[in-house]
Structure 1
Amino acid sequence: MKKLLATSLLATGLLTGNSVYAEDYAIDTEGMHAFVQFRIQHLGYSWLYGRFDKFSGNFSYDEAKPEEAKAEVAIDTTSINSNHAERDKHLRSEDFLDVEKFPEAKFVSTKFIPGADGAGKLEGDLTLHGVTKPITLDVKQIGAGDDPWGGFRRGFEGSTKFALKDFDIKKDLGPASQEVEMILAVEGVRK
């Protein structure tokens, strides 16, 4: 699901690019210049951070028609990594992601609302834990330009929050831990 968010961010940032036609981008997961991260409060005392190590995605963008930007991201939920093997095993279980039943999360954008200075809101459908719900990502372009290998890249950041129960994750971690925040930092390589 975090992957999904990352791709969404890329699409919104493209709205401020220098192209005059639709460009297709792939999220750079090979060089690991993209991250799908999350955080949730632990008992109200601290933050628990984690990420998904395996995801893929792409987006397209037309500077003349930013409202038509599109993004799609697929996340391998089995790749969850909170830097603690036993906790990761629990997060993969039926209490949370139930990865045996739902090994993939997916985000597909439905609308982009451009804002000022490369920011905007990317709306789309997130499928997680077998449930599909609309979410909105707050996104901002970090930069764009030629890379040292002859390609062209765009980088974005973004975030969203949603309630675990909205995706039928019923494990109750207490009142401070009802929502998870997804944090995305992504870099796309023009195809």
Structure 2
Amino acid sequence: MTARFLAATALVASFATATYADMARYELDPTHTVVYFTIDHLGYAKTLGIFTNIEGSFAYDLDTQALEDVAVKIQAASVNTFNEARDGHVRNADFLDVSNYPEITFVATGGTPASETTGTVTGDLTILGQTHPVTLDITLNKVADYPFGHQKEVLGLSMTTTIQRSAFGMMYAVENGLVGDEVTINIETEAIKDE
């Protein structure tokens, strides 16, 4: 199980060395991958938002736990806060400025297992053209062949992290406290082995 966990953390981490020929390709399943966030609104409650356009892939060797070519990309304009007027505001220059910065990206730099099914992954998050390191807490949910359909091996992960949006230059309503600075980010994903 430990080897399986290291394999899963290798989604966004770099372990060992292997030739590319030995690597298997994995694709994030867009129908089973979601990134969602919560942020404080006026101190009353947290507002929920999700991103609906996410893609990612990586090369991975099950035997060595080696990983290459990690690429995760979110289309910023796909943000959905379940309110049309608010969505428009979140997409404009006060927040995500999607016209000038259409993509949010994450690239891994390392990972550390804490138990058979938990650990952390560090990486570089880019929002509004600014890149800062973040640490994700990871839980390995399952590694198994899919029970129907494609029946390929699937890695299932839950991840969470917290960022300060002001660190990325997103200063709107931070000083007056109308909108929180701290953003909690959650990721649920299934990655399918490409055979």
TM-score range, shorter chain: 0.7 to 0.9
Q: CA deviation at 1:85?
A: 0.5
Tell me if the contact between 1:53 and 1:79 (Cα under 8 Å) persists in the aligned partners: yes
Cα distance in 1 for residues equivalent to 2:135 and 2:183: 14
Deviation at 1:55, TM superposition (A): 1.2
- Deviations 1:12-68 (Å, cap 9, x if unpaired)? 69x9xxxxx743311000xx11101111111111111111110100134445544x4
Other-structure match for 1:158: 159
Structure 1 segment 100-179 matched on structure 2, within 5 A: 100-147=99-146, 148-149=148-149, 150-173=151-174, 174=177, 177-179=180-182
Report the Cα offset of residue 178 of structure 1. Answer: 1.2
Identify the range of structure 1 (120-129 vs 68-77) with the bigger mean alpha-carbon deviation.
Answer: 68-77
Q: Is the 8 A contact 2:173 2:179 kept in 1?
A: no
Instruction: Quote the residue 1:185 is aligned against.
Output: 188
- The answer for the alignment partner of 1:97 in structure 2 is 96
Q: Conserved in 1, the CA contact under 8 Å of 2:142 and 2:155?
A: yes
2:11 is matched with which residue? 11
- In 2, Cα distance between equivalents of 1:166 and 1:176: 15
Mapped contact 1:35–1:51 kept (Cα < 8 A):
yes
Deviation at 1:176, TM superposition (A): 7.1
Moved more, 147-156 or 85-94: 147-156
CA contact (8 A) 1:12 1:119 kept: no
Report what 1:3 is aligned to.
Answer: none
- After superposition, the Cα gap between the structure-2 partners of 1:175 and 1:88, relative to the gap in structure 1 and judged at 3 Å, is closer
C-alpha contact 1:53 1:80 (8 A) present in aligned 2 = yes
Deviation larger for 54-63 or 82-91: 54-63
User: What are the Cα deviations for residues 90-113 of structure 1, in whole angstroms up to 9, with x where unaligned?
Assistant: 000100000000000110111111
Q: Identity of counterpart residues, as a percentage?
A: 31
Q: How well do the aligned residues superpose, as a CA RMSD in angstroms?
A: 2.3
Aligned length: 175
Q: Which moved more, 1:169-178 or 1:138-147?
A: 169-178
Please identify runs of 4+ aligned residues in structure 1 that moved more than 6 A.
Answer: none
Q: TM-score, normalised by structure 2?
A: 0.82
Q: Is the 1:10–1:155 Cα contact (8 Å) retained in structure 2?
A: no
Q: Is the 8 A contact 1:12 1:121 kept in 2?
A: no
Q: Which runs of 5+ in 2 are unaligned?
A: 1-7, 16-21
Q: Distance in 1 between matches of 2:51 and 2:186?
A: 11
* Change in CA separation of 1:10 and 1:80 when aligned onto 2, cut-off 3 Å: farther
CA distance in 1 between counterparts of 2:119 and 2:172 reads 33
Quick check: which has more Rg, 1 or 2? 2
Please report how far the alpha carbon of residue 132 of structure 1 lies from its aligned counterpart in structure 2 after TM superposition. 0.6
TM-score of the superposition, structure 1-length normalised? 0.83
Q: Distance in 2 between matches of 1:61 and 1:39?
A: 32
Question: How far apart are 1:9 and its partner, in Å?
Answer: 6.5
